[in-house]
């Protein structure tokens, strides 16, 4: 049976895909399918990634020099292209993450000012 | 995008294997993994496969996007689009032909004008190594805007003491009579260029036979009677005889030796190739009464120089500034500060003249640009109409995942292709049009003009740029429109049931209004210029130019003084009057419409001589008693001059009506006194008043003239009435040609050396009319072309609209509308658009025609006749263009129209 799109799933905010890919690659090199799966798994199926949209993003990240790619063999003995984080990519992830956290904190603060204080 | 990404892309361009070459494999492996996972989670095999595909999304799009990331996709897409576009154009030969033809006219016309402009002003001089050649002018401080040439002493000083030029040449035109030495041949008029001795060597002109001038031939005035003939002149007058070199010819009656024949392709510094070149130092011999060489106050020499290697224009002009000011101080003793202007060598280099040429060129460019705009509007309309036919194709491509941007890009590629085709053919048109134009529009009775009109980089670049802009201009709006149809309805049925998209028909209408208004502006310009031409052709000269010959004699070249000249004139007049067919012969100081007038101060007697009056200046004309009879100018009051009005008698004068009106308004000037000149001249009594005539120029208003009797006046400034310069006016009974043919024999009988040259007075009129003619011919050509294009545009839109509304028309007629109603409906729509366009165009014209006010002699820029006739013409043409499609609409069979679907 096909998976029905769930109401709880959220389309990705533009530009956040880059950050998610970089974040995924922190646990080690993996291929495109692995990246898609781990984004879905980690977000507990909340974030919906159209697998096809991953590839243009991967090209872009390569051009920026944040990731590099090499062919390898998967667990199931399939040929696949493995992406790994470069040093520049690590720095970029750090910067992006802190930027994102500030953003989230700001939004949360606007939406639920009291609760956020209680949470401290 | 960061610089790092750009760099990566650039690297990818040159790398053999691209990072995305294995993209297909990568995606395949991705899909397999997903499918595997689905299988493991218990899906049936087929279901697992499709679920994986769904999860992935549009595979092609993902690939395309990934590739686009690397940038080189665009080249690939461009090539794809070009091929696709070419296929589309081949499939619609009718559309392609009309569009390309329209654009060929528009672009070709623009390129033609640009070619002419390029040849006159942008191209460097056709000399050896032209980049180091500059034109030299001087400018006197405190006289803003005026540039002047050089006197001979100035030239010599600059030539001999400068250290920035490897050569400084000077030249000046001179009219010449050449007698090739054959006993039967008559002396002929020729155009000679007086040049400095280094003219040929500095500019790199070689002789095909003999030699050119040497620098020594520049030294002693009058010492080197040598001449170099142009190749064309040699061919025409000496049958290309090699023995011509070394031969002796007479120039203005002086013996010269032909030392060489210039190369066939040598043009030099002027667009008109001279017939022959003579050393500057011979000026005094060739023009014995006007020796300019020693004259420090006569600025008659054009100067061109070649820069020394590694000297810049700025350095050179700074060095020359110092020289020219030292010269004025040391030799002229003046304190005026001069500065030297150097411009890169070209035919039209003098900054003030260049400004005039540029603004004229701008005017013409604007006019042909308007024609191109109309052409663009037409092609845009065609594209729009065609896009409607392609709605289904476009909708399918959109639904298959093509982005709107991609589609617009493809449609623009297609329109650029059409524009480039038009540009290519336009280039062909521009290859032979300029010569044709020059031939058709060149002033009458002048030498051929040697302009280099071949294609060069600026012309090619201009045409390419113009084509691309044109492609975007007519392609953009239709592409934007076409790429946003309602997908569903377009796929369901390609046709268009009721009332097409409102915005699309609005765009059609907008284009029609725009092209109509532009067309009106052009027609207004043309109409005004044609009216001005009519005015010029029918201008009341005030005299009868028909059958009148103007004869000039070269007495000054043959040792005549004023007394002997007077005797010669008297005898010649007597002899001519006895010739059969001659009605009347007279003498005048100036030829009518000769372009020259002579003015002098005047004092009016018999009234208070105020300061303002004494500074007045009027034109003088010294004539023999039968002058008025020869030209047919009526004497309205008083009497004519008589043979008794000689130096012994009381001084007399005749004035024209304008003079009478200005100085004696309402009164009778006869009997009043005036002083024609400075206080040393005695007062003369006015004995008669004649009708106004055009004087020196055709365009002048009624200016005050004073006529003085030839037998009474004395030579010298300010009136300059020497007998030597007198022109003979001969009125023939019927055929002035035969009189002109007999003339040289009569003159020869009196003195075998004297040459007479005669021209018809109507030719002088023609020369003045020519200027108007050029404007009128050019502008009416453009106006008619614009009208034709606009008519085609209106016709196209109306017939398209009728086709689209066939169904509607059928229903109207089924519901009882008569054929007349339908006719009125369609024609009404077209005419409404046209009238709106015309109104806008007329408003623009009110402002725009002011630009050509200077060319409109006797016609106001707001001339109501032109406004009304242009409006009527346009409405008539628009009616016709609407009527044909409207007729078709009335032929719609309601049944057929209703079943259609």
Residue B19 to residue A62, Cβ atoms within 8 A:
yes
Write out residues 841-860 of B within 8 Å (CB-CB) of A.
Answer: none
CA distance A54 to chain B (A): 8
pLDDT band at A4 (very low <50, low <70, confident <90, very high): very low
CA distance B386 to chain A (A): 35
State the pLDDT at residue B517: 92
For B828-860, the pLDDT digits (tens) are 888 888 899 999 999 999 888 888 877 777 788
Closest A-chain CA to B29: A80
State the pLDDT at residue A100: 84
- Same-domain pairing of B571 and B607: yes
State the pLDDT at residue B802: 81
- Residue with the bigger pLDDT between B814 and B19: it is B814
Residue B93 lies in a domain: no
Pairing of strands B226-229, B254-262: parallel
Please enumerate in sequence order all residues whose Cβ is within 8 A of that of B409, keeping only pairs 6 or more positions apart, or say none: B77, B81
B341: left (phi > 0), else alpha (psi -120 to 50), else beta? beta
By Cβ distance, the residue of B51, B54, B62 closest to A56 is B62
Residue B87 lies in a domain: no
What integer best gives the mean pLDDT of chain B?
A: 83
Distance, in Å, from the CA atom of B5 to the CA atom of B2, rounded to the nearest integer, reads 5
The alpha-helical segments, DSSP class H, found in B144-230 are 152-161, 199-203
Residue B11 lies in a domain: yes
Mean pLDDT of the region B286-299: 77
pLDDT band at B447 (very low <50, low <70, confident <90, very high): low
pLDDT band at B499 (very low <50, low <70, confident <90, very high): very low
Residue B100 lies in a domain: no
pLDDT band at B627 (very low <50, low <70, confident <90, very high): very high
Distance, in Å, from the CA atom of B239 to the CA atom of B244, rounded to the nearest integer, reads 9
- Would you say residue B503 has pLDDT above 70? no
pLDDT band at B465 (very low <50, low <70, confident <90, very high): very high
CATH number reported for the structural domain that contains residue A15 in this entry? 1.10.10.10
- Same-domain pairing of B701 and B826: no
For A41-87, the pLDDT digits (tens) are 887 777 777 888 888 888 888 888 889 888 888 877 888 889 999 99
Residue B69 to residue A63, Cβ atoms within 8 A:
yes
Interface check for A42 against chain B (CB to CB < 8 A): the answer is: no
User: Which among A31, A38, A50, A55 is the top mutation candidate for probing chain B, defined by the most B β-carbons within 10 Å of its own β-carbon?
Assistant: A55
Residue B66 to residue A56, Cβ atoms within 8 A:
yes
Distance, in Å, from the CA atom of A97 to the CA atom of B391, rounded to the nearest integer, reads 47
Provide the residue range defining the domain that includes B53: 3-71
SS3 helix, strand, coil % of chain A, rounded to 5?
A: 55, 15, 30
State the pLDDT at residue B490: 53
Of B429-433, B604-608, B773-777, the poorest mean pLDDT is in B604-608
State the pLDDT at residue B596: 73
Residue B471 lies in a domain: yes
Interface check for B8 against chain A (CB to CB < 8 A): the answer is: yes
State the pLDDT at residue B419: 93
- Same-domain pairing of B823 and B894: yes
- Would you say residue B552 has pLDDT above 90? no
Pairing of strands B254-262, B248-251: antiparallel
Of B236-250, B565-579, B636-650, B865-879, the poorest mean pLDDT is in B636-650
Residue B114 lies in a domain: no
Number of domains in chain A: 1
- Would you say residue B359 has pLDDT above 90? no
- Same-domain pairing of B641 and B751: yes
Please give the radius of gyration of chain A, using alpha carbons only, rounded to the nearest integer: 17
Interface check for B43 against chain A (CB to CB < 8 A): the answer is: yes
What is each CA distance from B478 to B471, B532, B565, in whole angstroms? 11, 41, 78
Mean pLDDT of the region B329-333: 70
Distance, in Å, from the CA atom of B772 to the CA atom of B528, rounded to the nearest integer, reads 11
Residue A2 lies in a domain: no
Residues from chain B that touch A11, judged by Cβ atoms under 8 A, are none
For B131-161, the pLDDT digits (tens) are 999 999 988 776 655 788 888 988 999 998 8
Handedness of CA B144, B148, B154, B159 (dihedral sign): positive
Residue B106 lies in a domain: no
Task: Assess contact for B367 and B785: CB atoms under 8 A.
Answer: no
Provide the residue range defining the domain that includes A40: 10-119
DSSP string, B304-338: EEEEPTT--HHHHHHHHHHHHHHHIIIII-----E
ipTM above 0.90, yes or no: no
SS3 helix, strand, coil % of chain B, rounded to 5?
A: 55, 15, 30
State the pLDDT at residue B108: 92
- Would you say residue B660 has pLDDT above 70? yes
- Would you say residue B720 has pLDDT above 60? no
- Would you say residue B487 has pLDDT above 60? no
For B528-544, the pLDDT digits (tens) are 888 888 887 777 888 88
Number of domains in chain B: 4
B293: left (phi > 0), else alpha (psi -120 to 50), else beta? alpha
Distance, in Å, from the CA atom of B725 to the CA atom of B717, rounded to the nearest integer, reads 14
By Cβ distance, the residue of B9, B22, B63 closest to A63 is B9
State the pLDDT at residue B276: 92
Mean pLDDT of the region B359-386: 88
B405: left (phi > 0), else alpha (psi -120 to 50), else beta? alpha
State the pLDDT at residue B611: 43
Q: How far is CA B39 from the centre of its chain?
A: 81
pLDDT band at B666 (very low <50, low <70, confident <90, very high): confident
Domain end: B766, B795, B820, which one?
B766
- Would you say residue B115 has pLDDT above 80? yes
Task: Assess contact for B71 and B9: CB atoms under 8 A.
Answer: yes
User: Which among A1, A21, A38, A63 is the top mutation candidate for probing chain B, defined by the most B β-carbons within 10 Å of its own β-carbon?
Assistant: A63
The reported pTM is: 0.69
**Within a 13 Å sphere around the CA of A83, how many CA atoms are in the beta-carbon half?**
28
Mean pLDDT of the region B365-389: 87
Residue B63 to residue A51, Cβ atoms within 8 A:
no
Q: At what angle do helices B404-441 and B73-91 cross, to 10 degrees?
A: 60
Residue B9 to residue A50, Cβ atoms within 8 A:
no
By Cβ distance, the residue of B9, B32, B62 closest to A52 is B62
- Same-domain pairing of B741 and B773: no
Mean pLDDT of the region B702-708: 86
Specify the DSSP class assigned to residue B471: H
Q: What are the two backbone dihedrals, phi and then psi, of residue B666, each rounded to the nearest 5 degrees?
A: 80, -10
Domain end: B766, B785, B806, which one?
B766
Residue with tokens 């006159």: B120
Residue B520 lies in a domain: yes
Percent of chain B's residues with pLDDT above 70: 89
- Same-domain pairing of B307 and B218: yes
Residue B30 to residue A78, Cβ atoms within 8 A:
no
Whose CA is closest to B307, among B165, B487, B115, B123?
B165
- Same-domain pairing of B509 and B365: yes
For B301-330, the pLDDT digits (tens) are 999 999 999 899 999 999 998 888 888 777
Domain end: B56, B71, B86, which one?
B71
Residues from chain B that touch A36, judged by Cβ atoms under 8 A, are 30
User: Which among A5, A39, A56, A78 is the top mutation candidate for probing chain B, defined by the most B β-carbons within 10 Å of its own β-carbon?
Assistant: A56
For B59-89, the pLDDT digits (tens) are 888 887 777 776 655 666 778 888 888 888 8
State the pLDDT at residue A5: 43
Whose CA is closest to B364, among B233, B526, B244?
B526
**Preceding peptide of B718 cis, ω within 30°:** yes
For B876-886, the pLDDT digits (tens) are 998 888 888 88
State the pLDDT at residue B18: 59
Residue B136: strand pairing partners: B303, B342
Residue with tokens 């995924």: A24
Pairing of strands B684-690, B635-638: antiparallel
- Same-domain pairing of B436 and B526: yes
CA distance B56 to chain A (A): 4
For B188-234, the pLDDT digits (tens) are 778 899 999 999 999 998 899 999 998 888 888 888 899 999 998 99
End-to-end CA distance of chain A: 44
- Would you say residue A34 has pLDDT above 60? yes
Residue A79 to residue B33, Cβ atoms within 8 A:
no
Residue A5 lies in a domain: no
Interface check for B36 against chain A (CB to CB < 8 A): the answer is: yes
State the pLDDT at residue B351: 83
- Same-domain pairing of B578 and B485: no
């Amino acid at each position: 049976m096909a998976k029905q799109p769930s109401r709880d799933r959220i389309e990705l905010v533009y530009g956040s895909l880059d950050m998610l890919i970089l974040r995924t690659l922190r646990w080690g090199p993996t291929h495109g399918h692995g990246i898609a799966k781990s984004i879905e798994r980690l977000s507990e199926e909340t974030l919906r990634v159209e697998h096809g949209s991953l590839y243009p993003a991967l090209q872009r990240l390569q051009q920026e020099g944040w990731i590099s790619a090499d062919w390898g063999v998967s667990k199931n003995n399939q040929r696949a292209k493995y992406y790994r984080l470069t040093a520049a990519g690590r720095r970029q992830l750090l910067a992006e993450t802190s930027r994102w956290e500030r953003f989230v904190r700001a939004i949360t603060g606007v939406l639920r000012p009291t609760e956020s204080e209680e949470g401290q | 995008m960061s610089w790092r990404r750009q760099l990566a892309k650039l690297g990818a361009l040159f790398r053999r294997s691209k990072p995305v070459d294995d993209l297909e494999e990568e995606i395949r492996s991705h899909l397999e993994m997903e499918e595997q996972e689905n299988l493991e989670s218990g899906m049936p095999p087929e279901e697992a496969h499709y679920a994986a595909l769904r999860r992935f999304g549009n595979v092609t799009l993902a690939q395309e996007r990934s590739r686009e990331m690397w940038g080189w996709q665009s080249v690939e897409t461009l090539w794809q689009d070009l091929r696709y576009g070419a296929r589309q154009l081949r499939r619609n030969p009718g559309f392609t032909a009309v569009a390309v033809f329209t654009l060929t006219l528009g672009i070709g016309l623009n390129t033609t004008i640009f070619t002419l402009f390029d040849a006159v002003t942008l191209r460097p001089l056709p000399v050896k190594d032209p980049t180091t050649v500059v034109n030299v002018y001087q400018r006197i401080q405190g006289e803003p805007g005026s540039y002047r040439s050089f006197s001979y002493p100035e030239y010599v000083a600059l030539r001999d003491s400068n250290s920035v030029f490897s050569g400084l040449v000077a030249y000046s035109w001179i009219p010449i009579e050449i007698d090739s030495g054959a006993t039967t041949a008559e002396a002929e008029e020729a155009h000679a260029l007086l040049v400095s001795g280094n003219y040929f060597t500095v500019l790199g002109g070689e002789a095909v036979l003999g030699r050119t001038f040497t620098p020594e031939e520049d030294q002693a005035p009058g010492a080197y009677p040598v001449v170099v003939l142009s190749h064309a002149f040699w061919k025409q007058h000496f049958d290309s005889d090699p023995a011509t070199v070394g031969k002796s010819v007479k120039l203005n009656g002086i013996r010269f030796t032909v030392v060489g024949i210039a190369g066939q392709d040598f043009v030099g510094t002027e667009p008109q190739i001279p017939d022959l070149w003579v050393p500057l130092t011979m000026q005094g011999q060739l023009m014995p009464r006007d020796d300019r060489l020693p004259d420090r106050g006569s600025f008659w020499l054009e100067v061109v120089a070649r820069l020394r290697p590694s000297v810049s224009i700025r350095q050179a002009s700074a060095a020359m500034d110092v020289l020219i000011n030292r010269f004025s101080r040391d030799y002229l003793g003046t304190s005026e500060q001069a500065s030297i202007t150097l411009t890169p060598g070209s035919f039209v280099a003098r900054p003030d003249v260049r400004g005039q040429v540029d603004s004229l060129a701008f005017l013409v460019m604007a006019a042909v640009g308007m024609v191109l705009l109309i052409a663009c509007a037409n092609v845009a309309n065609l594209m729009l109409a065609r896009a409607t036919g392609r709605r289904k194709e476009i909708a399918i491509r959109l639904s298959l995942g093509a982005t709107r941007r991609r589609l617009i890009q493809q449609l623009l590629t297609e329109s650029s292709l059409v524009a480039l085709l038009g540009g290519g053919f336009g280039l062909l048109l521009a290859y032979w049009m300029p010569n044709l134009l020059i031939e058709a529009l060149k002033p009458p009775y002048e030498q051929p003009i040697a302009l280099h009109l071949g294609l060069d980089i600026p012309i090619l670049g201009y045409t390419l740029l113009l084509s691309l802009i044109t492609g975007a201009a007519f392609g953009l709006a239709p592409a934007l429109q076409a790429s946003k149809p309602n997908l569903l309805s377009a796929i369901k049925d390609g046709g268009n049931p009721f009332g097409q998209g409102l915005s699309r028909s609005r765009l059609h209408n907008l284009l029609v209004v725009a092209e109509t208004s532009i067309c009106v502006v052009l027609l207004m310009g043309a109409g005004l210029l044609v009216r001005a031409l009519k005015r010029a052709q029918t201008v009341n000269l005030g005299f009868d130019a028909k059958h009148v010959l103007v004869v000039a004699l070269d007495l000054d070249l043959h040792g005549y003084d004023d007394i002997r000249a007077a005797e010669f004139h008297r005898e010649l007049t007597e002899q001519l009057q006895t010739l059969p067919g001659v009605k009347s012969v007279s003498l005048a100081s100036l030829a009518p419409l000769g372009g020259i007038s002579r003015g002098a101060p005047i004092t009016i007697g018999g009234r208070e001589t105020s300061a303002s009056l004494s500074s007045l200046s009027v034109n003088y004309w010294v004539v023999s008693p039968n002058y008025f009879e020869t030209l047919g100018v009526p004497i309205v009051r008083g009497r004519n001059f008589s043979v008794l009005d000689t130096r012994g008698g009381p001084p007399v004068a005749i004035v024209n009506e304008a003079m009478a009106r200005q100085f004696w308004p309402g009164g009778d000037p006869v009997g009043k006194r005036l002083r024609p000149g400075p206080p040393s001249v005695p007062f003369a009594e006015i004995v008669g008043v004649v009708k106004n005539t055009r004087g020196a120029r055709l365009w002048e208003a009624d200016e005050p003239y004073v006529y003085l009797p030839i037998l009474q006046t004395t030579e010298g400034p300010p009136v300059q009435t020497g007998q030597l310069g007198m022109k003979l006016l001969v009125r023939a009974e019927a055929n002035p040609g035969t009189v002109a043919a007999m003339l040289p024999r009569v003159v020869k009988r009196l003195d075998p050396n004297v040459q007479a040259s005669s021209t018809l007075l109507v030719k002088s009129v023609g020369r003045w009319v020519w200027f108007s003619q050029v404007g009128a011919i050019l502008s009416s050509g453009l106006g008619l072309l614009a009208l034709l294009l606009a008519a085609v545009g209106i016709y196209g839109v109306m017939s398209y609209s009728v086709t689209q509304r066939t169904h509607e028309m059928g229903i109207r007629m089924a519901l009882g509308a008569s054929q007349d109603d339908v006719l009125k409906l369609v024609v009404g729509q077209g005419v409404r658009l046209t009238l709106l366009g015309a109104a806008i165009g007329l408003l623009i014209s009110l402002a725009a025609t002011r630009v050509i006010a200077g060319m409109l002699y006797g016609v106001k820029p707001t001339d109501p006749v032109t406004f009304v006739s242009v409006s009527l013409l346009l409405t008539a043409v628009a009616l016709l263009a609407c009527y044909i499609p409207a007729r078709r609409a009335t032929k719609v069979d309601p049944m057929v129209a209703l079943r259609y679907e």
